[in-house]
Structure 1
Amino acid sequence: MTQFIDVHSLARRLDESGIRIIDVRFYLEQPARGRSEFNAAHIPGARYLHLDDDLSSPVIPGQTGRHPLPDPEQFAALLRRAGVSQDTLVVVYDDGPGLFAARLWWLLRWLGHEKVKVLDGGFRSWLEAELPTTQETPRPLDEGDFVARPDNSKLIDADEIQRRLAAPSLQLLDARAPARFSGETEPMDPVAGHIPGAANLPCAANVGGDGSWLTGEQLRKRFEPWAKADTELISYCGSGVTACHTILAAVEAGLPEPRLYAGSWSHWITDPDRPVATGS
């Protein structure tokens, strides 16, 4: 079953009571821009959630990565206020490539809600299809009955990674751009490089130039060098956000779901005793 819904299919279902649409447009260097764009135009009925304020917990310097996972109970309450119930289909979108939509997709599944789809091509595809938008503030909804049931088997922590670094049964996939992986540049974190033994699989290549996702078969080919029966895949990035993009791609490809190192690189480097590698 695909993890995506196309814009025309969603447009036909806008009036269905069992669907909730959530806009998560966000820009790392302009944190207020996504909400501003939502206020200017969004898909009718959509609610807005902010990466820093809603999809993450507060950062604890020196102890967490840049986007710690939200508290499950607090996040569940937020979803209930957005009208999400146990049987609700949640459709999530960002401005196109799914880099932030994948975060919410993963969070919902982590909390036990698998009725979630990512809008293929995001808001850009919605506009290109000349589908309706609105500036209206969404009307209050009846509170949903969503209950958080966190599945922490979807996670891996730094200690387990460090214990298994040399084990052939573990394969780390780094979702960042090649220049950040190699340590050539590091615009976000104080230390450059990657976790030793990791392979670079930039998440940006999971989608085409128009922001639409590759097919399941195309995605499967991307994972072929590392998707082995006796190897567990682990996804990480800079702060645990775009790593979810890699996990979404693997699930769409029909592979076992990789675990998420939620703290990712920005957490790994909080301990100077953890090893760092550079180069390709």
Structure 2
Amino acid sequence: MPLITAPDLRHRLAALRLLDARPDAATYASGHLPGALHANLNRHLSTASDPGHDPVRGGRHPLPPLDRFTAQLGAWGIGPDTEVVVYDANGAGNAAARLWWMLRALGHGRVAVLDGGLQAALEAGMELTVEAPAIAPVAPYPADQWRLPLVDAEAVEDLRRDPARRLLDVRSAERWRG
């Protein structure tokens, strides 16, 4: 289930774990969908906020260590049977898609992105809350490796040099230009 519509989300809200992937905690605290927890790109979905992080050497948002991410999922109450919906705001980056990809990379198939993001939920009549949900943590998510293909800088360079292959960079133009 890669996408979920806002009306479907509204009807199934109580059975889902929502993760708000908008950029910062202040935005989340000022209002989020009921039951949503905040998933911060820099702190939860990458090592960008780690001391000593060097974006020149490791990229702007390298994946966090697997054990750290699986522990965070457990802290959010997410286990293998949890149905998860992630959302962000239009124009606020690709954090929801990244979180969807990361969960899929662990083998978690029960995850969807809210089609149209937060704006679609508001247009469907959903209201925001400032209350943080009380979530019972569970054990760290049981995963021993990332399951989707990953490439390093050397593999990217090899792809770039091969005239029979095409390498697509999906970053924004600003990030592509450096």
Alignment TM class, shorter chain as reference: 0.7 to 0.9
Residue matched to 1:36? 26
Q: 1:24 to 1:168 in 2, by over 3 A?
A: same
Question: Which stretches in structure 2 are left out of the alignment for 5+ residues?
Answer: none
**1:240-260 Cα shifts (integer Å, max 9, x gaps):** xxxxxxxxxxxxxxxxxxxxx
CA distance in structure 1 between the partners assigned to 2:126 and 2:134 by the alignment: 20
Q: 129, 133, 142: which is aligned to 1:138?
A: 133
Aligned sequence identity (%): 38
Q: Flag the structure with higher helix content.
A: 2
Counterpart AA for 2:21: V
Residue matched to 2:123? 128
Report the aligned-residue RMSD: 2.1
Bigger CA radius of gyration = 1
CA distance in structure 2 between the partners assigned to 1:110 and 1:124 by the alignment: 27
Q: Higher mean Cα deviation, 126-135 or 169-178? A: 169-178
Counterpart AA for 1:54: H
Runs of 4+ in 1 over 6 A off after TM superposition: none
CA distance in structure 2 between the partners assigned to 1:138 and 1:82 by the alignment: 10
CA distance in structure 2 between the partners assigned to 1:138 and 1:63 by the alignment: 37
CA distance in structure 2 between the partners assigned to 1:142 and 1:180 by the alignment: 36
Residue matched to 1:78? 72
1:25 has 2:19 as partner: no
**1:17-44 Cα shifts (integer Å, max 9, x gaps):** xx21100101xxxxxxx32121121111
- What SS does the corresponding residue of 1:154 show, helix, strand or coil? coil
Residue matched to 2:11? 12
Q: Cα offset for 1:96? A: 2.8
- What SS does the corresponding residue of 2:17 show, helix, strand or coil? strand
Q: Higher mean Cα deviation, 131-140 or 79-88? A: 131-140
Structure with greater contact order relative to length (CA < 8 Å, sep ≥ 6): 2
1:163 has 2:162 as partner: no
Matches within 5 A, 1:1-280: 2-16=1-15, 19-26=16-23, 34-57=24-47, 58=50, 59-60=53-54, 62-96=56-90, 99-144=94-139, 146-151=141-146, 153-178=148-173, 181=176, 186=177, 189=178
TM value normalised by structure 1 = 0.57
- Tell me if the contact between 1:6 and 1:119 (Cα under 8 Å) persists in the aligned partners: yes
**1:28-87 Cα shifts (integer Å, max 9, x gaps):** xxxxxx321211211111100111111111323542111111111111001011010111
- What SS does the corresponding residue of 2:14 show, helix, strand or coil? coil
Counterpart AA for 1:53: R
Counterpart AA for 1:20: R
TM value normalised by structure 2 = 0.86
Question: Which stretches in structure 1 are left out of the alignment for 5+ residues?
Answer: 27-33, 190-280
- Tell me if the contact between 2:107 and 2:147 (Cα under 8 Å) persists in the aligned partners: no
CA distance in structure 1 between the partners assigned to 2:26 and 2:56 by the alignment: 31
- What SS does the corresponding residue of 1:63 show, helix, strand or coil? helix
**1:207-246 Cα shifts (integer Å, max 9, x gaps):** xxxxxxxxxxxxxxxxxxxxxxxxxxxxxxxxxxxxxxxx
